[in-house]
Structure formats: C-alpha cells, structure tokens
Amino acid sequence: MEVERYLSQVAVREIFPSGQKIIESSSIVVVGMGGTGSAIAEMMARMGIRKITIVDDDTIEVSNLNRQALYKENDIGLKKVDVAKVELLKINNDVEVNAIDQRLTHYNAEEILSEGDIILDGTDNYNARGVMNGASFKLKKPWIFTAVEGTVGYVKAIIPGKTSCLSCFGYPDQGEGISCTVQGVIPSAVRAISSLAVTVALKVLMERESSGDLVYMDVWKPTLETLPIPRNEGCKVCGENKFARG
C-alpha cells in the first residue's frame, strides 16, 4: 500500500502507530449498499481496509441518488453491488472487493458474514438486522448496528460475549421497516451516522470499544447522546450465558 495515501489518518494519535496496520490487515462485510452502506464502504476503501465484501440484491433507482453517493444518473437500473464494486476499486485499487448480489437470509448469513472480521449494517429493515444479530452470535463476530430516519440516527457496537445485542433492548427482529421515501431522511444524517459507524468499527477492530452503548445523533438540533444498554440475561439470542456454552 502507498504510504503517502494514508499519512493524514496515520498522524492521528488514536491510530498511530499500530492502527493503520490493523486497518490494512482487516476485512469487513457491509450488508446493504444504500445510503449508509455505500458511505461506509467508501470510507473504509479510502482508509485502506484490506477486503470489503458488499451484500445487496437491489438495483439503483432515481430516488437513491440524493443520498447514495457511489451512484450516478447513468447507473439507474443497474445492480448496486456491481456499480459499487467498480467505484470502490476506482477509489482504491489495493482493496479487494467481493460483491455478493443476494439478500441476506437465515440460509446464507453464516457463509456470507464469515467473510469479514466485523460486520457493518447498511440495511433498512428489521429482518436483515435480526439475521445479522443471530448469525454474528453464532460466528462470534462483532457487528455495528446503524439506523437513520428523518434527521436522527443510531449506532451500536454489538460484540458477542462482551456487550448487549440488538434483542437485549427489544428491537424487532422481523418486518421490512419503512422505506426512506415514506419516512423521510436527509443526506446529512446518513453521512453523519455512516461516519460514526466507521469510527466505532475501527475502535472494535483495535479493541478499544467494549461498552456497546447506543449512540443517538440528531443532526438538525444538533444533539449527540449515548445510552447504556446492559446485557439482558433473559435475551433469546445472547442471554443465560449462551455465548459461553457456544
């Protein structure tokens, strides 16, 4: 990898000196290549992550273009993962990009998610997040929950065996959710939450994140709050020492 490319981030004391080596040796899986997912993948490619696996079965629509920065007007009708792979390699050809044109399900999740050291949520529905939550527990891999609506968003690190999981605080694990065109979302909220998710993921990879607090951000007010989410021993996914029993 070109040393000059990463000089500005390596100079950051939280990363220098070993952080960049961790970044360049790590792999991630980004599930969903919409607003947050495409922004997360783009930032990770620019930072020099070793391998990015992108997962989505959607095609690009005109309504995506206001917040999904990897895509352009002439990409409308094309597969998101195909376009995203080309664009990510244009940004950084040293990064390996694996494009999977599938919807994440209970049937393929463990095989797909095992590709990364950490999983990042770029989805917009409860079903996919429920699948990630359960599969990450079985694989013993951390994942980063993200959600954005209107002007607000949420980020939470979920580290099996250390933090609470998504089910611990009663988050739904079934349902398609509400589309961005219905509930509304502004691009600045998408970018802010994506940036926060990338930062939290880096902290997990560097073993500097263990709280699993839920971070709430409203870019309009603006406000930033952290809410402690303790592990629920009665949780159907991670409770009752299930992790220890494997």
- Where residue 133 sits, what CATH number does that domain have? 3.40.50.720
Residue 213 phi/psi, 5° resolution?
-65, 150
Q: Domain of 179?
A: 4-245
CB 141 within 8 A of CB 52: no
- pLDDT reported for residue 177: 55
Place of tokens 């390596």: 10
User: For the chain, what percentages of helix, strand and coil (3-state, to nearest 5) are there?
Assistant: 40, 20, 45
Alpha-helix runs per DSSP H in 54-207: 80-91, 109-113, 126-139, 180-183, 187-205
CB 70 within 8 A of CB 44: no
- pLDDT reported for residue 242: 62
User: In sequence order, what E strands does 65-105 have?
Assistant: 96-100
Give which of 95, 85, 89 is closest to 55, Cα–Cα. 85
Q: How many domains does the chain have?
A: 1
Query: Helix (H, G, I), strand (E, B), or coil: what is residue 21?
Result: helix
Question: Which strand ranges, in their side-by-side order, compose the sheet holding 51-55?
Answer: 96-100, 51-55, 27-31, 118-121, 143-149, 152-158, 214-218, 223-227
Q: What tens-digit pLDDT sequence spans the chain (246 residues)?
A: 577 899 999 999 999 889 999 999 999 999 999 999 999 999 999 999 999 999 999 999 999 999 999 999 999 999 999 999 999 999 999 999 999 999 999 999 999 999 999 999 999 889 999 999 999 999 999 999 999 999 999 999 999 999 999 999 888 877 555 555 546 899 999 999 999 999 999 999 999 988 899 999 999 999 999 999 999 989 999 987 565 444
Whether residue 17 has a cis bond before it, omega within 30° of 0: yes
- pLDDT reported for residue 243: 52
Give which of 231, 68, 86, 93 is closest to 162, Cα–Cα. 231
pTM recorded for the entire structure: 0.94
CB 37 within 8 A of CB 45: no
77, amino acid identity: G
Assigned token pair, 145: 């929950």
- pLDDT reported for residue 245: 45
Strand bridging mode 51-55 / 96-100 = parallel
Give which of 25, 37, 187, 57 is closest to 120, Cα–Cα. 37
- pLDDT reported for residue 222: 96
